[in-house]
């Protein structure tokens, strides 16, 4: 059954009043072509120009999404004084260099939406934030799982107090991501690319933990392609109020499909002193449209499960949210919901996981700051 009248779940992002600001898109890979631009057209945003490492790819994506201008390089794109906002979708190890050039055009560029991870580590993320602050450019980070419908609905349920004090929270991922070629040169995989979604979601739901303990091992399938240290990752977040949050990020998910049938999922569960909520993330079903779900039971309505459902999905619909919150921040002259400054907490938590792995102990995020 749907929600009772007394419980309102705010699962959709706030949209800007003005959707005309011109967006310059740097990068034309999957995340830009199949997620960002699909969502932007859906929301009525205004992608104005695009550039990519391969100009033929930029031309192809521009034609597909009716983008008026294509530039051979992002440096040329940045000189287009009609552009108000830059959407940067490049690998993390080149992101800082791109931002260094973007801030040279602060006269007309007012905002940046940067991919997660924000650079390759906390130190680079801090430098990106510093550069944008110094230039007067509003920086937002594309931590798009915060706009998954079940993640956002749970945040609303937590804020209502219906679950009471959170006691334990878990995310259980059994799914195989599509690793990108650029990841082969990083030496790391899951913690900064996939787990960062879950770590940021825990921060979104509950705030910053006191410490984290992480354990990893290589993923046998990915090891056949390139060396890495953090394929399969597990971690526990400890909060000052006693809450424990944990995720099992299993990107192995069993042998290849010619050995076992596909059995992938992302499930989460939050137990509180007054209620229980559980849900699924539909992303493993992409490109099929598989909406995420939320089921909850609360003391104020004893003996009942509520099961609100929606048509929207994480990929690509939730990608409206990160750009929307940047445009709203520029419109209202406020801090974005996922500002660069806020995202430093997520980057510190990721780096704390790596230190925990190296030193075999629980690590406070402020130890890596």
Summarised one tens digit per residue, pLDDT across range 124-140 is 999 999 999 999 999 99
DSSP 26-45: E--SHIIIIIIHHHHHHHT-
Which helix (DSSP H) or strand (DSSP E) does residue 321 occupy? helix 320-332
**Contacts for 23 with CB less than 8 Å, ≥ 6 apart:** 40, 45, 46, 47, 48, 49, 83, 84, 85, 86, 87, 323
Rounded CA separation 291/312 (Å): 6
pLDDT tens column, 133-178 = 999 999 999 999 999 999 999 999 999 999 999 999 999 999 999 8
In the chain, CATH 3.40.50.720 sits at: 22-144+329-335
Identify the pLDDT of residue 48. 98
Low-confidence ranges of the chain (pLDDT < 50): none
Contact 317, 39 (CB under 8 A): yes
Contact 141, 116 (CB under 8 A): yes
Rounded CA separation 348/42 (Å): 34
Identify the pLDDT of residue 258. 61
Identify the pLDDT of residue 6. 81
Tokens of 232: 């399969």
Task: Decide if domain 22-144+329-335 falls under CATH 3.90.420.10.
Answer: no
Identify the pLDDT of residue 289. 96
Identify the pLDDT of residue 259. 62
Q: Give me the residues paired with residue 271 across strands.
A: 168, 276
Identify the pLDDT of residue 250. 96
- State which fold the 146-321+346-367 domain adopts: Dihydrodipicolinate Reductase; domain 2 (3.30.360)
In the chain, CATH 3.30.360.10 sits at: 146-321+346-367
């Amino acid at each position: 059954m749907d929600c009772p009248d007394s419980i309102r779940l705010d699962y959709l992002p706030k949209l800007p009043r003005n959707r005309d600001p011109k967006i310059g898109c740097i990068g034309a890979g999957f995340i830009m072509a199949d997620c960002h631009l699909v969502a932007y057209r859906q929301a009525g945003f205004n992608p104005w120009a695009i550039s990519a490492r391969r100009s033929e790819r930029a031309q192809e994506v521009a034609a597909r999404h009716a983008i008026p201008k294509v530039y051979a390089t992002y440096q040329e794109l940045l000189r287009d004084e009609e552009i108000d906002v830059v959407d940067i979708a490049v690998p993390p190890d080149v992101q800082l260099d791109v931002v260094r050039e973007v801030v040279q055009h602060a006269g007309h560029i007012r905002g940046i939406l940067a991919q997660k991870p924000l650079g390759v580590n906390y130190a680079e993320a801090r430098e990106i934030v510093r550069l944008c602050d110094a230039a007067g450019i509003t920086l937002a980070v594309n931590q798009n799982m915060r706009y998954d419908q079940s993640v956002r609905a749970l945040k609303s349920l937590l804020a209502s107090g219906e679950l009471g004090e959170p006691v334990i929270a878990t995310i259980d991922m059994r799914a195989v991501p599509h690793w990108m070629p650029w990841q082969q040169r990083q030496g790391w995989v899951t913690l900064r690319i996939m787990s960062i979604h879950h770590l940021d979601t825990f921060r979104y739901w509950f705030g910053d933990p006191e410490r984290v303990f992480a354990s990893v091992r290589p993923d046998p399938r990915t090891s056949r392609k390139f060396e890495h240290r953090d394929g399969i990752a597990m971690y526990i977040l400890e909060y000052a109020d006693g809450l424990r949050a944990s995720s099992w990020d299993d990107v192995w998910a069993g042998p290849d499909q010619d050995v076992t049938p596909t059995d992938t999922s992302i499930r989460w569960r939050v137990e509180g002193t007054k209620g229980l909520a559980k849900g699924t993330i539909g992303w493993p079903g992409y490109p099929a449209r598989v909406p995420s779900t939320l089921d909850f039971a609360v003391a104020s309505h004893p003996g009942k499960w509520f099961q609100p459902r929606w048509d929207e999905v994480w990929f690509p619909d939730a990608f409206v949210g990160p750009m929307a919150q940047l445009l709203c921040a520029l419109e209202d002259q406020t801090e974005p919901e996922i500002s660069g400054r806020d995202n430093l907490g997520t980057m510190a938590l990721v780096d704390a996981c790596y230190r925990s792995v190296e030193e075999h102990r629980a690590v406070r995020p402020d130890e890596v700051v």
